[in-house]
Amino acid sequence: MKKILTTASLMALAVPALAQDDVTLQLKWVTQSQFAGYYVALEEGFYEEENLNVTILPGGPDIAPTQVIAGGGADVVVEWMPAALAARENGLPLVNIAQPFKSSGMMLTCWGDVGIEAPADLANRTLGVWFFGNEYPFLSWMSQLGIATTGKAEGSVEVLKQGFNVDPLLQRQADCISTMTYNEYWQVIDAGVTPEELVTFKYEDQGVATLEDGLYVLEENLSDAAFTDKMTRFVRASMKGWKWAEENPEDAAMIVLDNDETGAQTEGHQIRMMGEVAKLTAGSNGALDPADYERTVATLLAGGSDPVITAAPEGAWTHAITDAALN
């Protein structure tokens, strides 16, 4: 049977498809449900609908998103605001263009049998703390409590530099460790500890939470109309992916697993993580809340004798992208 070519089909053959715009996204950590919205947008075709060809680069313990974008290895990065503002003050002009995470998942998880019932009881303890910029909410919290961080003594704590595991708690090297609501806390539970054996303090509840998992670009690129248009489409598709993930947590977790080239993640852990992450993205349409930003800056400025930033930043965020993407 001969194919009949209509005028419309002939025109379609004559007009080449528009080339997709390339976008490289650098994640803060390894492939997991913490970043489900981006993988959903990729797999469900939301980026393609916006004429984007998006490459997602996993992170890891030896990968700093700020260094990657500084070296030209990414157009946009997922980063926590303390690290982004520190980089800005040190000469790397990062700008927050969107904030998918409304709430912080950071908390301190303690053994319940060591006599810690309230934050004041943390004095004279050994506490596991993440560094590389993640220590500043903790230092600010201790400063507000009037607890020094100079060693295990009355009115002070011993700070144990914690790696990316929960061993210091399980091995009783620390009374408390840093955990995320969607990850390390559940690693403790999976190790056979019951929730009743633990006491937790969420940074959100203590008033010292800082913004996590925002999208950052280099300030100079925002003066390029083609780049801002590309980022507008990227943010719109990404937030569509995040809302899809919130509504379909199990399916979103499976999409993450399909993209985990290491094979290290498990189905149960990723589904549970997605459920917890959805609590943190809920309430955000992607636009940064200025009040959340101001709280973060105040927390960082109050971060003990060596604060992450020494002055309130200027120009560290913009609504230009989210205004164009979401309205």
Q: Is CATH 3.40.50.980 the right assignment for the domain spanning 106-206?
A: no
SS3 22: strand
**Contacts of residue 242, Cβ cutoff 8 Å, sequence gap at least 6:** 36, 37, 40, 100, 281, 286
Common-topology check for domains 20-103+211-326 and 106-206: yes
| Res 241: pLDDT | 98
Model confidence at 143, pLDDT cuts 50, 70, 90, reads confident
Amino acid at 289: D
Model confidence at 61, pLDDT cuts 50, 70, 90, reads confident
CB 263 within 8 A of CB 71: no
| Res 251: pLDDT | 98
Instruction: Count each helix (H run) and each strand (E run) in the chain, helices first.
Output: 14, 10
DSSP 309: -
* Fold classification of 20-103+211-326 (topology level): D-Maltodextrin-Binding Protein; domain 2 (3.40.190)
SS3 108: strand
**223 vs 139, higher pLDDT:** 223
Judge whether residue 304 has pLDDT over 70: no
Q: What is the pLDDT of residues 85-132, one digit of tens each?
A: 999 999 999 999 999 999 999 999 999 999 999 999 999 999 999 887
Domain range annotation of the chain: 20-103+211-326, 106-206
| Res 303: pLDDT | 67
- Which run of H or E residues covers position 103? none
